[in-house]
A and B are shown apart, each in its own frame.
Chain A
Amino acid sequence: MISIYNILPEVSLLIIVLYFIIYKSYVINLSNDLKMNHIEKIIYITFFSLILILISIYDSNYCIYSFNKLFVNDNLTIFTKIVILVSTLAVLFISKNYLKNNKIYEIEYYIFILLSILGMFTLISSNDFITFYIAIELQSLSFYTLATYRRKSLYSTEAGLKYFILGAISSSLLLFGISILYSFTGATSFNDLHILLYNIDYLNNDYINNLYLLSMILIIVSILFKLGAVPFHNWLPDIYEGSSTSVTAFFSIVPKIALIAIFIKLLMLLVLITNSSFNVILSISCILSITVGSLSALFQKKIKRLLAYSAISHIGYILIGFIGSYSYNYVSILTYIIIYIIMTILVFTVVFTLSRQKESRGLGTSIVHIEYISELKGLAYKEPYLAILLSITFFSMAGIPPLAGFFSKMYILLNAIESNLIIVPLISIIFSVVSAFYYIRLVKLMFFEKDSKIKYMKYKKKIIYFTLVLIVFLTFFLFMPNVLVEFIQILIENLYNIYL
């Protein structure tokens, strides 16, 4: 069987990476702008064609295994891959200005982004724990390198080192869990494990039950670390703050959906729906994430750290979806993450668009993007469109109706109450009011205060047209939620049909 067609996206990414590596060595005489133009054209063309290919092979009951069941291509993987490609395109588009201002002209930046996307693709398509581990390692290693990208800055190197050490620990825990699972089942493939774990009467056998719980908890803990859920969240704010902003944008937008998609598949295949042993750890992690995320974000003064803590609280909300046993929980999770991606893209668009000239002693003027929350003061009087954009995004993140963020929280909480949970929705909704404060504080800074000291430079208008589409989606989600939700519902139903 010619299985290479099944991994066409991954293979094409690998080819582009190799091309970039070779490209650097023979175009050394071209100007930086021309090089960047070439690279961007290549990336845009590749991604668009991959998106088209993936859309064209999307089909309802599509499921193809390849390489002796190491890889799988089903409709969830296709959907997630499309989302990753689209969001990476968006991130690269909006961070172009930032890269130019900070003179990031090296090709290695794009190489590592492509390698991390390759890792994410392999992660989503993995059907075996070995592939899973290799993919997570590939993605994480590319991220460690991206986090230390600006090697001359103290912040960056510290961020990368922290990320590397903590990530290595979590990967080792993952490996330990996988090996325990292998030890008592003798299988690493998801299909074999699914058949074994669903049919073995392991609940009555203490030895196997304990080993199962231990291995699954280690694997879940490792994934929770990578997501940034609370007992394992300490790396997130430092990494977000220390890396260069374009890398932070990439971190906060792209990898979460890959991890969540594979987490959904793991829980669907390896954990019986009626098995509620993992609900305890997921509930505790979820409640703590929402609490710690909301409360810590109240005191932040830097935008990137605020976004990091708000990302932690959003992950807490997503984890609510994993707790109950209601079968439509996964629909609400995927809806939430997509709306979260759109909101984060909008926030980072504004962060990249607002730049000002800063005089530093001895080094001349440099172009700096906003770093502190207080630099947003009086934005409504200077750049009204950006202020309206940001305030709609922040109201949506706070979960205020009628914007899309409210609907994403609504679906999650609706499913939680259908699963008869009481404490978790109650605490999450109380802390959503607490977190609403720091979002409306940003709106207050933009609209209610005037500041004439900071003058922003002009920005390109085409970014605005791009954001218009996203804002229209957020605002008018109220009128047509079924465009997204029904689609994801059909996806999850097909997933259930294929695997269970």
Chain B
Amino acid sequence: MFDDFLLFFIVLPLFGCLLVNLKRLETNIHNIAFYYAIFILIVSLFLLFNLSINDYTYSYILNINWLNIDNYSIKFGIDGISIFFIILTTFLIPVCFKLNIKSYISVNYYYTCFFILEFLLLIVFTVLDVLFFYISFESTLIPMFLIIGIWGSRERRIHAAYQLFLYTLGGSVLMLLAIFKIYSFCGSTDLETITLTKFPLSLEKYLFLAFFIAFSVKVPVFPFHIWLPEAHTEAPTGGSVILAGILLKLGTYGLLRFTIPVLPESTIYFTPLVYTLCCLGIIYASLTTIRQIDLKKIIAYSSVAHMAYCIIGLFSLTVEGIVGSILLMIGHGLISSALFILVGIIYDKYHTRIIHYYRGLTMVMPIYSILFLFFTLSNISFPGTVNFVSEFLIFNGLLCSNSFILIIAGIGTLLGASYSLWLYNRLSFGYLNTKTIKYFSDINKKDILLLIPFIISTLVLGLFPTIITDYFNTPVLVILETINYIIQ
């Protein structure tokens, strides 16, 4: 195992950019991009297999001597939590490559955007330095802006692209000032150094608010969520998959890794505020979803609700809560992406996302309906799927922390079931609507093969979650112990 393996791994997507733009390989560009992305996935699985379960520090540490100063270097490292986000990223990118897009500009720009996005995401999940986390976290806006704006489906995509960019940028600039204040106070932006510094409470409250506003726009938490339905409906299917699958998790990962350990006293101080906002988010998002008529908006709002559960789990500051939260992040990444792929399939056929045009699809697209049912049930957190395990763990954690929120979150589960089943009901059951849909064909083999990994992983993680959660336990315990140590 050579020392700079992580550097090699992070730079792989950049080579993908180069490959895709070479003129000589232009005829095979789809295959090359897809197989190269699969290669990156295999390398990340290889990283997983060499990670040991009971490690309490980071593995594959990479130190980059950025400025030529002796003691100052940026650290990159993987631990049990980040490895699964990395695998999720490298898994969703080849999936995005196989989805259809209509493109006036040459296709290599699509692949280039996604490879650059993958590069930045790999940096986000491995860097252990809060300034570089911010840099890569913000940089993902540029490819996302281009993806939504160039390959989106209708005129409103420009509005959605602006909203994504400016809203997220506006939220996170305060975090930049907070990072500078942390640097000015501690003398370093290295994660381990600032985790072990105890800030004065007055300063810590402002820093926490700045960080929380930045992450709450990204996640998104209830008052700042309005960009998400817009961005999802206007994005191409690949863009939606990546947005729902990974980019929302940047916010919660940032909270878990960079806010809760670094600013523990204000975390406890502001927990009631966070709980309130998240509960409002769950109830409001779920109730709004019941009235939506756009397929993608429904799934987008369900993302808001699920992410609110993640944050509630994080702020419960118990092992079950945080482990459940991370598992929900991964599960939601898989399930929402699968739902967006399904909606994308139907959109490619009929070019409308309004639900009034569809009815009785079970009659003519039975396989599609089965797959849709499976993922709808997963979205509801039906037992046997990964969402169930994660929500169960979150509720356990919440019981230790605050039982009143538990009741409201439980109501949220009920509402989640209501809109998901209502959606499925309107879409698949009833008599076929031949006025609007005249030609039928079921889902083809390519798309089924695309969805099979999602089905397998959802079921396997739902029935045997310890495959993954064993990796989480130790890092989460480390985080909680550090918090205890700092507070004393």
Contacts and interface: CB of A to CB of B under 8 A. Distances in A.
A427 B183 CA distance: 20
Contact of B146 (A418, A437, A447, A479): A447
A401 B135 contact: yes
A413 B134 CA distance: 15
Interface stretch (A12-20, A258-266, A283-291, A428-436): A428-436
Contacts of B180: 413-414, 417-418, 425
B399 interface: no
Interface string B134-163: 111011011001100110000001100110
B149 to A, nearest CB: 4
Nearest to B168: A433
A440 B162 CA distance: 8
Given A413-B180, A433-B169, A401 B136 contact: yes
A444 B163 CA distance: 13
B145 to A, nearest CB: 7
A440 B68 contact: no
Contacts of B184: 414, 417-418
B138 A436 contact: no
Contacts of A418: 180, 184
B10 to A, nearest CB: 12
Nearest to B138: A401
A485 B158 CA distance: 37
Interface string A248-268: 000000000000000000000
Nearest to B149: A448
Chain A interface, >50% SS class: helix
Which of A440, A450, A486 is most buried by chain B, counting CB atoms within 10 A of its CB? A440
A380 B105 contact: yes
Contacts of A395: 142
B105 A436 contact: no
B107 interface: no
Interface in A18-46: none
Contact of B170 (A410, A414, A426, A433): A433
A429 B214 CA distance: 13
B173 A430 contact: yes
B150 A401 contact: no
A424 to B, nearest CB: 11
Contacts of B135: 401-402, 406, 478
A202 interface: no
Contacts of B149: 444, 447-448
B162 A437 contact: yes
Contacts of A413: 176-177, 180
Nearest to B65: A482
A481 interface: yes
A485 B166 CA distance: 29
B139 A447 contact: no
Contacts of B183: 414
B181 interface: yes
A426 B67 CA distance: 27
A109 interface: no
Interface string A444-478: 10011010000000000000000000000000001
A98 B268 CA distance: 63
A161 B10 CA distance: 57
The residue in B145, B149, B169, B176 that gathers the most chain A C-beta atoms within 10 A of its C-beta is: B176
A117 to B, nearest CB: 34
A216 to B, nearest CB: 29
A417 B176 CA distance: 11
B177 A444 contact: no
Contact of A433 (B105, B142, B173, B177): B173
B485 interface: no
B174 interface: yes
Contacts of B169: 400, 433, 436
Most buried by A among B104, B135, B142: B142
B139 A381 contact: no
Nearest to A436: B169
B67 A444 contact: no
B165 interface: yes
B423 to A, nearest CB: 31
Contacts of B134: 401
A440 B176 contact: no
Contacts of A437: 162, 166
Contacts of A450: 104
A369 to B, nearest CB: 25
B166 A447 contact: no
Nearest to B120: A402
A448 B136 contact: no
A406 B176 CA distance: 11
Given A436-B169, A450-B104, A482 B67 contact: yes
B328 to A, nearest CB: 29
A300 B151 CA distance: 28
B119 to A, nearest CB: 10
B142 A486 contact: no
A164 B23 CA distance: 54
B284 to A, nearest CB: 26
Contacts of B166: 433, 436-437, 440
Contacts of A426: 177
Give the top 10 A-B pairs by smallest Cβ distance, nearest first.
A401-B135, A448-B149, A482-B67, A417-B180, A433-B170, A429-B173, A401-B138, A402-B139, A401-B139, A414-B180
Interface of B: 66-68, 104-105, 134-136, 138-139, 141-142, 145-146, 149-150, 157-158, 161-162, 165-166, 169-170, 173-174, 176-177, 180-181, 183-184
Given A402-B135, A429-B174, A447-B146, 5 more contacts: A413-B180, A429-B176, A436-B165, A478-B135, A479-B66
30 contacts: A400-B139, A400-B141, A400-B169, A401-B139, A402-B135, A402-B139, A406-B138, A413-B177, A413-B180, A414-B183, A414-B184, A417-B180, A417-B181, A425-B177, A426-B177, A429-B173, A436-B166, A436-B169, A440-B166, A443-B146, A444-B149, A444-B158, A444-B161, A444-B162, A447-B149, A447-B150, A448-B158, A450-B104, A479-B66, A485-B67
